[in-house]
Amino acid sequence: MADPDLETMLARIAAALDRLAPPPSAAPDLDQADAFVWHAEGDWLDPIDAVNRVDLDLLKGIARQRDILLDNTRRFADALPANNALLWGARGMGKSSLVKAIHAHINRERPKALALVEIHREDIPSLPRLLDKLRDSKRRFVLFCDDLSFDGADTTYKSLKAVLEGGVEGRPANVVLYATSNRRHLMPRDMIENERSTAINPSEAVEEKVSLSDRFGLWLGFHHCDQDTYFAMIEGYAARHGLDIPVEQLQREANEWSITRGSRSGRVAWQYIQDLAGRLGKRLE
């Protein structure tokens, strides 16, 4: 084949490949919104206009956790040193609600101070690519991963571990990571015990995975609430949304609702309020 023919064929192949290749993603407009969802497939940040959240003053029974996380987040918003935070413990006790409420609270105090970026647990391996997009921005970002945990032979935790404190570049100064989990060590207890019982060196067998939670400077525990706290949640929601019902009836119905659910928590309280509002023909704004 003559050289001109070869060059022509190669040019055609290159042009075809260019047409098949996806266009490069545009640089995100990080001032477009105060909250984003990261989509690893396509490497893009989806702006969120209205975050699903509750107001900070409606979160009952977690005053200590609220104050610690609020103080840490304020320091971060002021460009001062702040810690990554792991919120762990009982289901439905306001872990993710607290993160979103604090973000909104600080932005009310200082508009545009923080942007919240949610990353899904399955997208953790793409975390370095996300940080590359945020690193040079003048904004400050709270990365939020809800329900973080690792099972079995899952090795994606290594990406998170490197970002938290390891690696050459490390975590950008304008980014902090808040994660929620039902597990203090981000892995189930039976998995820890199995590693210890089958390994030649039991302590080293689990150290790598358990040490991931040690990379979070703040550990905030959330525990099941008592009846008085549960009633305070119910009464706070009812007052905020104008649900006119006698307190005795409200407490009696809320108690029956918690018994059918088998637990008391902020989530159970909100589910009861939704049922009550529906029966009263009231909208929850």
Q: What is the pLDDT of residues 174-227, one digit of tens each?
A: 999 999 998 777 765 444 445 444 444 455 545 655 667 778 899 999 999 999
Do 150 and 253 belong together in one domain? no
State the pTM of this model.
0.82
Q: Among 197, 222, 247, where does a domain finish?
A: 222
Is residue 234 domain-resident?
A: yes
Do 41 and 159 belong together in one domain? yes
Which phi-psi region, left, alpha or beta, contains residue 279 (left: φ > 0; alpha: ψ -120 to 50)? alpha
Domain coverage including residue 248: 227-280
Nearest-angstrom CA–CA distance, 235 and 245: 10
Q: Among 179, 200, 222, where does a domain finish?
A: 222
Q: Among 177, 200, 222, where does a domain finish?
A: 222
Is residue 26 domain-resident?
A: no
Do 258 and 214 belong together in one domain? no
Do 62 and 131 belong together in one domain? yes
Tell me the two tokens of residue 237. Answer: 């929601």
Q: What is the pLDDT of residues 147-179, one digit of tens each?
A: 887 765 666 777 777 777 656 666 889 999 999
Asked whether residue 14 carries a pLDDT value surpassing 90, the answer given is: no
| Region of poorest pLDDT, from 39-53, 138-152, 239-253 | 138-152
Do 89 and 198 belong together in one domain? yes
- What share of residues in the chain are helix, strand, coil (percent, to 5)? 50, 15, 40
Domain at 54, CATH number: 3.40.50.300
